[in-house]
Amino acid sequence: MSDRREKPVDPVRSRADRYGITRSLGISTLTFKVSAGDTAGAMLVVENVFHGPGGPPRHLHLEQEEFFYVVAGEFLFEVGSEQFSLRAGDSLLAPRKVPHVWACAGAAGGRLLIAFTPAGLMEQFFARVSGHGAMPPLDPELWQAHGMVLLGLPLALDGL
């Protein structure tokens, strides 16, 4: 017997969320496209729509790879010691246990599709930090409780 679903999940429409919820992270909104429950914990896919420049603090994931696909806009990334500028159609992988940080670089905003594999505790993290009108707090214990290590501040946009 497989642990895969016997029936495919319903489609998630453009700009919609798997659960019908839009999560505010201040400068961006987050919608779930594929939940951990859809994949028996193997993956979580979210769309992160930025309304202006900025991004989360520098961190790493202890157990997850994090894959980024730029749908629209320009984003600046640092993965390990390498720096990248990505635009629509570009993608990048941040391997587990490798420090990374990114930011939307344009005033007009942008859209990222982000996949976490395995899903880990990312759904719970986003549920906890959304709805406060701000990016996730710089609280090391909060990040650690969800399988991540907080390493520093958000990316300085004038630094790349």
Q: Is 40 among the domain residues?
A: yes
Q: Predicted confidence band at 133 (pLDDT cuts at 50, 70, 90)?
A: confident
Contacts for 8 with CB less than 8 Å, ≥ 6 apart: none
The domain in which residue 84 lies consists of 32-152
Q: Would you state the structure tokens that stand for residue 133, as one six-digit string?
A: 């009108």
Residue 46 belongs to some domain of the structure? yes
> What is the C-alpha separation between 109 and 113, in angstroms, rounded?
14
Q: What is the CATH number of the domain that holds 55?
A: 2.60.120.10
Share of the chain above pLDDT 70, in %: 93
pLDDT, mean over the chain: 92
pTM beyond 0.75: the answer is yes
Number of compact structural domains in the chain: 1
What per-residue confidence (pLDDT) applies to 3?
54
- 17-44 tens-digit pLDDT: 999 998 999 899 999 999 999 999 999 9
